[in-house]
Every structure is written in structure tokens, then in C-alpha cells.
Structure 1
Amino acid sequence: MVALTERTQKRLTIQTREIAAETTAIRSLDWDRDRFDIEFGLQNGTTYNSFLIRGDRIALVDTSHEKFRQLYLDTLKGLIDPAQIDYLIISHTEPDHSGLVKDMLQLAPQVTVVGSKVAIQFIEDFVHQPFKRQIVKNGDKLDLGNGHEIEFVIAPNLHWPDTSFSYDRKTQILFTCDAFGMHYCSDSTFDEDLAAIEADYRFYYECLMAPNARSVLSALKRMGELPEIGTIATGHGPLLHHNVTELVDRYRKWSQAKAKSDTTVAVFYVSDYGYSDRISQAIAHGITKTDVAVEMFDLKFADPQEVQELVGRSAGLVIATPPASNSTAQAALGTVLAAAKEKQIVGIFECYGGDDEPIDPLSIKFTELGLKVAFPPIRIKDTPTEATYQLCEEAGTDLGQLLTRDRDIQQRKSIDNDLEKALGRISGGLYIITANKHGVKGAMLASWVSQASFQPLGITIAVAKDRAIESLMQVGDKFVLNVLEEGNYQLLMKHFLKRFPPGADRFAGVKTQTTENGSPILTDSLAYIECEVASRMECSDHWIVYSTVESGRVSKAEALTAVHHRKVGNYY
């Protein structure tokens, strides 16, 4: 039985559904949410999922975002008297899942809060009141009676340090919070339509899980010790039931590819301080686009030996300025400084937490140790905006490209000379892709462009994974294909070929107009075509982006498209 409230002006609704024996999903549907953490995509809103398990004793798994306070609490009271709830299982304490914990403790002061050691610490800092608690370790069990025995799987860094999974042996449901989720809002409780959700599933993985690929593999190994998993009850999006094996295997394949890199960057942050977690995630996402492995580490819960080992095996370090008053984080930072060595590269960012360690003295300490600066210190003076996250992602990509430069040169030299010349004879036109999404603009010079269909009219573009504009070309995004004119393309080509600093305005000094979809048109282009991304196919180091054509115009009917002839075919 599905019950939906009337949609409010902000289009917030609640869906409840029995998903197994004595198990109810309470799904908070946020239809219009167009921004979540660092993800630029999110064309389809999101959901915050909570679950009620009724054995002889009753457990609530996670709560919801505080924006759903009244809707959620009214719905919960309609299902059960909160005074009857025995346990509140906390999978993960980020506010979108634990935003109503304090409300629950007021409604149900008798409830025992169950979670990992780190989760309980976070809740203590959040609610500022006494509460019953039960700390669980990997393999611990909680017997609710009537066959509902809950086994806990500790899965840190997915994507916070406090994450745990909960497995109900009776229903074969694994509650995983952020892992295996997606920001996708629909009335469908389950994953019946794989084609509809797979782009969002992959994009969510790339943004939030790829920087923690090794932690994903550790969690998958622990999941393998459980009995059969029939349903994965995620914290965001539809629950996985029809495609569990397929979608879990995708996580494994993607994570194995990310983790196999012989180059690692350690990203040190403080998860519950300022914007440290979101900024670090944006930088980490940029790094992973270059096929460099990332290991994220919370300075607040750092073991000195683990910090020393991680720094020792890392080629690069990214460090958040920790709170000056937090002795644990400061001690961990001291361990990082003691273990850092020459030839490593380093990037430092502020957290906008109000008590940041001064960034300049910290930067000087690392340069005096002989480390090379990967990107200028990122100074956060206001609440981060879309442009801030773009700057952070591009800074991460620059760092990754710096680390992989020698490897890429060696790969270029390894290809057969005759073959590379033959490949170079495959010519293409010259185009500039331009996009604007929520005020974040991007541009890219392209020559791997081709018409791909008549019905509907469609084109394909090959976009390197480490291009900044790649984040603005997700399914549903709109952009413009600007066609360059033969004999009149040199200035535009020279401008867009240069290397831009992170966050720089690609269009400074360039004449532009604005299309209906908000993307810039280059005034000096021969023609332009407005497009919308329909699908993406992964091809090693590129994405093949298939897009439908919405409109276009030619400025000079007799002029010809500029043609790009390469000497070799194994690099641009």
C-alpha cells in the first residue's frame, strides 16, 4: 500500500510501503532538489529513506532530512506510537539521514541509539543531551525477536567515517544508507526500470564512492560473508531488489578499476567541521577523474600509525585546515607533517568552519619540507557556491594530471610509430563545446564529433574523463556545439587550448551570446547547435556522449567547417 501526501509548494512528499514482512519503508521524496553535496548532475531530485522493523521489539533505521520534520513525524506517528520504538539504528550521521534524531529522542526518550563508535560520538555532539546507546562492532547482532536478527557490518568512509550496514536475516534486507544509492526521485519504490536509473547510479558512485574505492571493496568483502541479500535498502533513491547482483557487481568493477592505480593521494579532512567534507569530496572527485587512487582520512579520528603509513605510500597529500582548537586533529596534522617527504605534492584548503588553522603558515611548513605545491591554497571566505565546488574539482584534476604526466608521456612513446601516424590520418572538424549549469560555465575544444542519428537528430562527442566540462555533460544536461570556421578559427582555438587555472572564467575576453538553454554561443563561430545529453558510454579514458539536437543556426551559409589534421593518433 502506497500513501502519498499532497505535494506542497516545495514538492516534498512522503511515501510509505511494506517492503517485506513487518518492514515498512518511509521514503521522503524531494522532487525538486537540484544540488546535493558536490554532485552537479541531480536532474531527478532525491529521496531520504528510513525503515521501520517490527519484531517483538521495534527498530527504526535512520530518520530523515530536517526539511521533512512535520511530514515525517506525522507519518511515523500514523504508523506507530513512537513510545513503542525500542531502537534507533543510525547507519550514518550526515544531517540528511540524522536530521531528526533529536526530535526522535524527544518523542521517544526510552529509545536506545545503536551505531558504530564514531556514529555515537557524532550523535553526542549533535543532540547535546543524555540518551541510551549501544555501540556495535563488525559482526555484532541485535535480536528484535520473531526472526528479525540484525547483523551489523562496519563500513567506514562510505562516505563518512561512521557508516555501518544492518542486515535482517529474516527478510534478507541489507540497509546500506549512502552506499548503492542514487539521487533519483520517483514513485517507484524499487529498481524495476534499470535503464531509467543507471546513469544516476553511476554518477552518484563517481561523486561519492569513487574517492573511497578501497573502502568500497572492503565493505563488499564483508558483505560477502553475509547470507543471501535479497534487497538493498538504500538511503537515497529506489531500493535495489530486481537488479541487486548486477548493481553490486558494478560497484565492484568500478572500485577495482579505481583502486588498482599505483599512484595514491591521501586526502585529510574533518568530516563534521565547516565544509571540510564537501570540499574534500569535490577535490577527491577531481583527482579520481585522472585514474589516480584516493584514500580519504578523517583527522578527527586518526590513528597515528595509520596516518604515518598512508602518508608514506602516497604520492600526493591534500589537507584541510583543521579546527585550531581540536587537539586530536592538530596531533594528526603533526603526524602528517612528520611523515611527509620530498617529491610528494601537496594541496591545502580552508574549511570555512570559523576556527580554521591559518592556511599560510601551514602551506609554508610543507614547502619547507620540500613538497611541491599542486594548486594554490584554496581560501574559503564565504559559504561555498557552485563556483567554489567547480574550483575544488578542477584543483583536484590538476593535481592528478601532475602526478600522471610522466606516465602519460611513457604511454605515448610506447605505441608503434606507423600505427600512430595511421591513426593521425583520421581527421575531424574543429568545435568548441560550451555549457552553463547553475551558473557554472565550461568550455572545451573538440574534434571527435560526429552526427549519430536521424530520428531523433543526434550527435556523439568524445570527452576525456579528466576534462573539467565533463561534469557539466551528464544525462539531462544542456550544452552548445559551436562549429569553427575554416580560416577564422585560430584565435578561438588558441584561447581554448590554453591551460586555465582552477575556477578561471573560460570566456573572459571572448565574445558570447546566450542560448535559450543558458549556454554561451561563441559570436565568432560559423554555426551553433543546442543539444541535450541523452546517454553516455564509457570508453576507457573517454566518455562517448550521445546528445539530441534541439535547435541550431548557421551564420555564414557559404563558409566551411574548420578541419583538424593530426600528425599522430595517440594524443591530442
Structure 2
Amino acid sequence: MSEINTKISSENQNFSKFAITENFTCIRFLDQNKERFELEFNLEKGTSFNTFLIKSNGELFIIHPPEKQYLNSFNKVIYNFFDQFHLDKINIITGHINPQMIETIKNISTQFKNIVITCSNPGFKLISELWNQRNPNLENFVEIQLPKINIIKKELNLELDNLLLDLIPIPTARWPGGLIIYERNQEILISEKIFSAHIASEYWSETNRISTEVDRKHFYDCLMAPMSNQVISITEKIAEYDIKTIAPLHGPAIEYSLKSFLNDYIRWGENLSKNNPKIALIYASAYGNTASIGDALAKGINRTSVEVESINCEFISNDVLIKSIQNADGYLIGSPTLGGHAPTPIVSALGTLLSEGNRDKPVGIFGSFGWSGEAIDLLESKLKDGGFKFSFDPIRIKFSPNKPKIKELEEIGTHFGRKIIKEAKRNSRKSDTGMITSKTDPKLQALGRVIGSLCVLTASKGKDENNIKGAMLASWVSQASFSPPGLSIAVAKDRSVESLLQIGDAFALNILSEKDFKEPLKRFTKPFAPGEDRFEGLNIELTPNEQIIIPESLAWLDASVKERMECGDHWVIYAEVLHGNILKSDSLTAVHHRKTGANY
């Protein structure tokens, strides 16, 4: 794979060209911006967008045109192709549709006349709805004629110069217009959102499996997990092809770990479907903001081992919706407000939930809005009048959630999932893990004799309005290395602070004194409401890495996460200690003694 890396004028962007064949090129647009609000960008490694260009018989095929933010760079590339190769027609092939991508296609259609768009039937519906949507406050709106659209019903085969393309629709709840493309001669699969990772990488492919594993798992957890059954089916279908390279929409290509990565996608999905309680997450989303709220709620729920079934009611049959509602142990329903109303598919789905839903099961509602919010009021009033019981106050977010709000949404999801688990345990009288957890079990009594220092882990990330903080009581702590000085901490998957302990993140470990541990113990063992400030009223100080020191600490350590290992219902975090100090030299460390290993 040959590469030409080209810098452009934008402060945070550049792009790379990768020549796959003489007439088949990947343009990777890189974005170093680490302050994006969406949950999927929480690892703060920037992102990239892969667009593919094919020259064939005087025509240019654009596979997955980039979003509006890359438009200036993209225009330079397109004009260069037309000037160099004297092309007279543009064929746009796209699956993932959103308003930002529509703006790019509009821009192309105003500059080049001979244009055809190829997409799936759900993709056609989305393009038609979004094409001339406008902000009601926007003046001088000019309608642009929609280009000719070629709709793919099942699969479409294209024979181009030295290339054979199979276009295969892969509709999912999150991306109903999904479309993967397989090029038979090079055995390359353009997988769109599936298998993506948000990394601003200038290299064509991963350097090894480990180099992108954490990022791809994070992308999966944020966006694929709520529709894991659909993703498993798609992955199994993809595995039937002879593939040398997977080129996703975001991030580097997958070559070295291709087979193991396909197996990972199936395994991750199967782990979410082991007869766990289920929540039906029903939504519609005009601009992606309501979907982002649902993603954050789902991420929090998944920490509790509850399965989330994501249902985009705009693209699902009523029979499937009824079955999902009847099989669910709880319900979430979300809607945008468009022109003062809820979208028609949401109104229809609400009617189905009212007629088929179980009033004894918990429900939550959410939505985004721009100027009003009537759709959320409608959901609230109808469900309340219908006898449903709300697990949390309706979530109303103007436009899009910021990072602190995303974290709060995750916490709301975790609380909701815990409620479902608690009810499932009450009904089954069995542990959700299938383990014997009786306090009289000898092995658990013996395990309980393992002791640890009583500590408070604190973590802070981001600046100003994007600052998010968390804390937890920790006693499963141990020194892990001499050089460099390091420690290990076990963190339960459903802990709110876990999302702040990714590789590269900083935290402080506050080691408590046996004389002064009672007050912090009381504070940090109480249940916190989602979004509640754990440090309100405390006279805190900061470490050199701007992590939080609580006043009762005997000593503190400033650390950076280097490794994470998944261990059952916990993550084991290995961190390098960067700074530290003793605050009370005349006191001993508080030690947590237990009688059983069945709980903390």
C-alpha cells in the first residue's frame, strides 16, 4: 500500500492518500480534536474518516463521502481528480446517512451536474427526509434538487475497471441504511461503521492486534452493544467472504488480526446475550442527538450485565416491536421534537408500548429538542396516564449533551440496570453470575481473609464545562511493580468512575488513616444520585496531575493507567505511580477486614 501524506491548512486536520490499486484510492481525513461530546470519543484520540475513490471509464465513484467538517479538504481532492483524469460523471455510494454527510453531497451536487447516488432503501428514505430539512430560524434557504438515486433492494454487483464490487445492505437499529462493499479482486471489505475505531492514525492499517484493540472494544461497547444480535449476524455473514483487509469508516484498516477480531465481535455479542435481563430501548433520532442520549444510557446499562436491545422505530416492523416489548424486563423510549411534535413512528411505537407493555416493569423517557420539547411531554403524559412507573425523571436535553451530561446519563443507565438486576434476582432467587455466594461457603470465607488498604480513588478529566469527576472507595489495592513503581486496583464494571480509568487517564489514590477513616468511609459508601458531586463541601487539594486529594488522607499517590485486564465482573487496573506524599506520618494505614469474599 503506497501512501502520500498531505497537510492542509486546518489547525486540527490533515489527510492521507492510500493507493490500493492504480484506480482505487482511500482518502483518510484526520481530525485531532479531542473535545467532541459523543460517548464514542471518550478515549480522546481524535478520529478519522475513510472515503474511497474509484476511477472507471470516465466516471468517479465516491464510496462513503465524508461529513461536512472535512468538506474543504474533500473539495481539493475531487477537483484534482477531475482536472487530472477528465472525468464527466460522479457516482456516490453511501450507507451511513446523517445531516453532515447530506451537506457534503449537496455541495458536490451544486458543483457537478452528472451525479447518481446509490444507497439502500432505508438510506433513500433518510436522504429524502433530510435533503431539504432546514432550521426554521435560517434565512435565505435555497432548495437544491435531489440527484437521481439508485436503490439497492438486496445486493448489487458492479463491474468496473479491474474491480468487482458487491454492495450489500446491512441495516441495523442505529444505522438502517448501512451498506458494506466487498471488492473481490483485492479481497478488501469496506465495512462502514462495523469494526471502526476513533483513532487519528496516519497509518493504513494497525501495526498489530494490541495497537487498536482497546479502541475497537470501546467503539463496540458504545455503539454496537445495544444491537449485539444484529451485529453478530452481520459478522457471521462477513466471515463467509475471503477477506485480506477490512477497511472501516473510522480508523486504520484491519489486516494482521482479522480472524481474531471477527471472533472478538461475535464473542463480545454472545457475552451480552447469556439469558440476562433485557431492556427495550425504543427511539427515533432526526440529527443523532437523541440517539447519542440513548447510547450513553445503554453504555451505563451494559455495565450491569443487562442486555439492551436498540430499536429504531422508524425502520422496524410492528410485529418485531411487539415481540421486543413483550420479552423486555424494562423500557426506555426517546424522541426528538420536530416542529413541536413527536415523529409519527414514535407516536406509533408509543401506542404499541401502551397496549403491549407490562405496567409492573420500569420505564424511562428521554429526548433532545431545539426550541421546545413537546415530544417528551407527550411520552411522559401518555405513559403516566397508562399506569407505567418511571425509574427516573424525564431526560430533556437541548440539542446535544456535553461530557459531564454524558457521564450523568451513563450513571442513570447504570442505576436503571441495577434496578432490573435486583428485580430479576428477587424473581429467580439466584445470583446473576450463577456462583454460590452464600456467606457460609468455605472458599468465600477463606477468600474474605485477603485484606487490603482502605483507600479512596479519585479521578478528574477535562477542563471547565467539560470537566467530569468521580470517586470510589477501594480496598482491592496492591503494589504491582518496583520499577517503575506501580499498583493494581480492581474496579467493578458498574462503577461510575470506571469510565475515567481508561489507558492514559490519570487518577489519585487517597490512602486512609486508621484514625480518620470513618468520615470518608461514610461519604463514599453512600449511594450517589446520577450527576451528584462526590466532593461537595470538601476542602480538596490537587496533585501535580490535577487529581483530587481528600483532606482525611494519610497519604496520596498520583498515577497514570497503563494496562487494563478484564476479570469477570471487575476490571483490574495497572497504573504507574508518578508522584506521592505522606500527609500524616504519625498514623497507620486503615485496613479493611472481611469475613467473606462474597461482597466488599
TM-score by length of 1: 0.94
Shift of the 208–315 alpha-carbon distance from structure 1 to 2, 3 Å rule, reads: same
Distance 1:80 1:191 in 2: 31
Alpha carbons 1:153, 1:223 under 8 Å: kept: no
Task: Please report how far the alpha carbon of residue 279 of structure 1 lies from its aligned counterpart in structure 2 after TM superposition.
Answer: 0.5
For 1:100, the equivalent position in structure 2 comes to 104
* Residue among 301, 326, 344 paired with 2:361: 344
* Counterpart amino acid of residue 130 in structure 1: L
Once residues 304 and 171 of structure 2 are traced to their aligned partners in structure 1, the CA distance between those partners, rounded to angstroms, is 24
Match of 1:131 in 2: 147
Residues 27-106 of structure 1: pairs in structure 2 closer than 5 A: 27-35=28-36, 37-39=38-40, 41-56=42-57, 58-80=60-82, 83-94=87-98, 99-106=103-110
In the other structure, the counterpart of 2:19 is 18
Residue 309 of structure 2 corresponds to residue 295 of structure 1: yes
Corresponding residue to 1:118 among 117, 122, 125: 122
How far is the alpha carbon of 1:134 from its aligned partner? 1.3
Q: Distance in 1 between matches of 2:275 and 2:516?
A: 42
Deviations 1:312-350 (A, max 9, x none): 111111111343253233122222222111221111112
Distance in 1 (CA, whole Å) between partners of 2:330 and 2:279 is 5
Aligned to 2:430: 410
For 1:43 and 1:372, locate their aligned partners in 2 and report how far apart those are by CA, in whole Å. 37
8 Å CA contact retained: 1:43, 1:476: no
- Answer yes or no: is 1:163 the counterpart of 2:178: yes
Q: Distance in 1 between matches of 2:297 and 2:272?
A: 16
TM superposition shift of 1:70? 1.3
Q: Which amino acid aligns with 1:485?
A: S
Q: Deviations over 1:85-128 (max 9, x none)?
A: 44211120135655522122223332211112122222223333
More displaced 10-residue stretch of structure 1: 295-304 or 164-173: 295-304
Task: Give identity over the alignment, percent.
Answer: 33
CA shift for structure 1 position 529: 0.8
Change (3 A) 1:84 1:171: farther
Moved more, 325-334 or 489-498: 325-334
For the residues of structure 1 that align with 2:27 and 2:288, how far apart are their CA atoms? 30
In 1, are the aligned partners of 2:335 and 2:342 still within 8 Å (CA)? no
Deviation at 1:261, TM superposition (A): 3.5
CA distance in 2, matches of 1:211, 1:556: 48
Q: Is the 8 A contact 2:283 2:346 kept in 1?
A: no
Post-superposition shift, 1:274? 6.3
Q: Which amino acid aligns with 2:418?
A: Q
Match of 2:577 among 539, 546, 549: 549
- Name which of 517, 536, 540 aligns with 1:489: 517
- Name the CA distance, whole Å, in 2 between partners of 1:110 and 1:126: 21
Quote the Cα distance in structure 1 between the aligned partners of 2:98 and 2:326: 30
1:424 pairs, out of 437, 445, 448, with 448
Matched position secondary structure for 1:545: strand
* Residue aligned with 1:144, SS: strand
Equivalent-residue separation in structure 1 for 2:288 and 2:220 (angstroms): 24
CA, structure 1 residues 23+120, in 2 after alignment: closer, same or farther (shift >3 Å)?
Answer: same
- The verdict on how the C-alpha distance between 1:568 and 1:208 changes in structure 2, with shifts beyond 3 A counting, is same
2:280 corresponds to which of 266, 287, 302? 266
Instruction: Report the residue type matching 1:319 in the other structure.
Output: I
- In structure 1, give the amino acid aligned to 2:291: D
Using the TM superposition, give the Cα deviation of residue 173 of structure 1 relative to its aligned residue in structure 2, in angstroms: 1.3
Shift of 1:58: 3.9
- What's the TM-score once normalised by structure 2's chain length? 0.90
CA 1:215–1:444 in structure 2 vs 1: closer, same or farther (change >3 Å)?
same
Task: Note if contact 2:40-2:198 (Cα within 8 Å) is conserved in structure 1.
Answer: no
Distance 1:260 1:109, change over 3 A: farther
Rounded Cα–Cα distance in structure 2 between residues aligned with 1:141 and 1:2: 30
- How far did residue 41 of structure 1 move? 2.8
For the residue of structure 2 that corresponds to 1:253, the secondary structure is helix
**CA shift for structure 1 position 354:** 3.6
Which residue does the alignment assign to 2:137? none
Q: Does 1:377 align with 2:417?
A: no
1:352 Cα offset (Å):
2.0
Q: Which residue of 1 aligns with 2:597?
A: 569
Residues in 2 aligned to 1:19 and 1:83: alpha-carbon distance in whole angstroms: 20
Q: SS where residue 153 of structure 1 aligns?
A: strand
Query: Matches of 1:382 and 1:105 in 2, distance apart?
Result: 28
Structure 1: distance between partners of 2:379 and 2:407: 24
Q: How has the CA–CA distance of structure 1 residues 147 and 425 changed in structure 2, closer, same or farther, with 3 Å as cutoff?
A: same
CA deviation after TM superposition for structure 1 residue 271, in Å? 2.5
Which amino acid in 2 is paired with 1:145? L
Structure 1 position 361, deviation (Å): 5.2
The structural deviation recorded for 1:176 is: 1.4
User: What are the Cα deviations for residues 412-444 of structure 1, in whole angstroms up to 9, with x where unaligned?
Assistant: 754562222111111111111111112011111
Q: Is 2:513 aligned against 1:498?
A: no
Distance 1:159 1:242 in 2: 28
**Counterpart in the other structure of 1:387:** 404
Query: Once the 2 structures are TM-superposed, how far is the Cα of residue 220 of structure 1 from its aligned partner?
Result: 1.3
Contact in 1 for aligned 2:277/2:424 (Cα 8 Å):
no
Q: How far did 1:362 drift?
A: 2.8
C-alpha contact (below 8 Å) 2:490/2:573 kept by paired residues: yes
Letter paired with 1:120: F
Amino acid at match of 2:168: V
* CA–CA separation in structure 2 for the residues paired with 1:39 and 1:13: 21
Shift of 1:40: 5.5
SS in 2 for 1:246: helix
- For 2:418, the equivalent position in structure 1 comes to 401
Q: Give the Cα–Cα distance (whole angstroms) in 1 for the partners of residues 535 and 171 of structure 2.
A: 42
The letter for the 2-side match of 1:350 is G
- 1:366-385 Cα offsets, whole Å, 9 max, x none, are 34444332222212246421
CA contact 1:25–1:51 (8 Å) conserved in 2: yes
Task: Report the Cα distance in structure 2 between the residues aligned to 1:51 and 1:98, rounded to whole angstroms.
Answer: 17
Query: CA offsets, 1:522-558, max 9 Å, x none?
Result: 1221111111111111111111111111111110123
What's 2:559 paired with?
A: 531
Question: Given residue 396 of structure 2, which amino acid in structure 1 is its aligned partner?
Answer: R
Given that 1:500 and 1:506 are in contact with CA atoms closer than 8 Å, whether structure 2 keeps it comes out as yes
Gaps of 5+ in 2: 133-144
Q: Contact (CA 8 Å) 1:150, 1:169: kept in 2 or not?
A: yes
* Partner SS for 1:388: helix
CA-CA distance at 1:223 after TM superposition: 1.6
Shift of 1:171: 1.7
Against the structure 1 CA distance between its residues 325 and 208, is the aligned structure 2 distance closer, same or farther, given a 3 Å change threshold? closer
Residue type of the partner of 2:190?
Answer: F
Q: 2:232 — aligned with what? A: 217
Greater mean alpha carbon deviation, residues 1-10 or residues 56-65: 1-10
* Structure 1 partner of 2:138: none
Q: Secondary structure at the match of 2:530?
A: coil
1:216-365 alignment runs, 5 A limit: 216-225=231-240, 227-273=241-287, 275-323=289-337, 324=341, 326-354=343-371, 356-360=373-377, 362-365=379-382
Q: Deviations over 1:505-524 (max 9, x none)?
A: 11112221123323221122
Please report the RMSD computed on the Cα atoms of aligned residues, expressed in angstroms. Answer: 2.2
- Which residue, out of 416, 424, 437, partners 2:461? 437
| Cα distance in 2 between the residues matched to 1:374 and 1:479 | 32
Matched, 1:194 2:218: no
Residue equivalent to 2:494: 466
Question: Any unmatched runs of 5+ in structure 1?
Answer: none
User: CA distance change for structure 1 residues 180 and 527 in 2, over 3 Å: closer, same or farther?
Assistant: same
Is the Cα–Cα contact under 8 Å of residues 83 and 108 in structure 1 kept in the other structure? no
Tell me how far apart the structure 2 counterparts of residues 281 and 182 of structure 1 sit (CA, whole Å).
16
Given that 2:368 and 2:399 are in contact with CA atoms closer than 8 Å, whether structure 1 keeps it comes out as no
SS at match of 2:541: strand
The whole-number CA distance in structure 1 between the counterparts of 2:170 and 2:430 is: 37
For residues 351 and 119 of structure 1, the distance between their equivalents in structure 2, rounded to whole angstroms, comes to 23
Q: Write the letter of the residue equivalent to 1:281.
A: D
